[in-house]
Amino acid sequence: MNRLAIGTGVIIFFLGLAVLLAWSAFQIFISEMHLVPKIALILLLLGTLLIFCTVLTNRLKIRKSDPYKNVEL
């Protein structure tokens, strides 16, 4: 696969994810929902994003020294 296409796809994915999370947070805060569910939803979104970023970062670090990266199926 072309590295440029993969890099562009990853950037577009993260940009879309960031816009979606920002829009969701904005919609939650302007709604007439009580404060506790608002805080819980924001914490849920932030926790999910933190886990995703941590796994992605670790995967990218391991990728550099992965002995099986050139193995074809």
pLDDT (average), residues 3-20: 87
* Spatial CB neighbours of 22, under 8 Å, sequence gap ≥ 6: none
> Do residues 41 and 28 touch, judged by C-beta distance below 8 A?
yes
Domain definitions of the chain by residue range? 3-64
At 65 the three-state DSSP class reads coil
Torsion of CA 27, 29, 35, 37, to 10 degrees: 30
Chain segment 14-67, per-residue pLDDT in tens = 899 889 888 887 888 888 888 888 888 888 888 988 998 899 889 888 888 888
pTM: 0.58
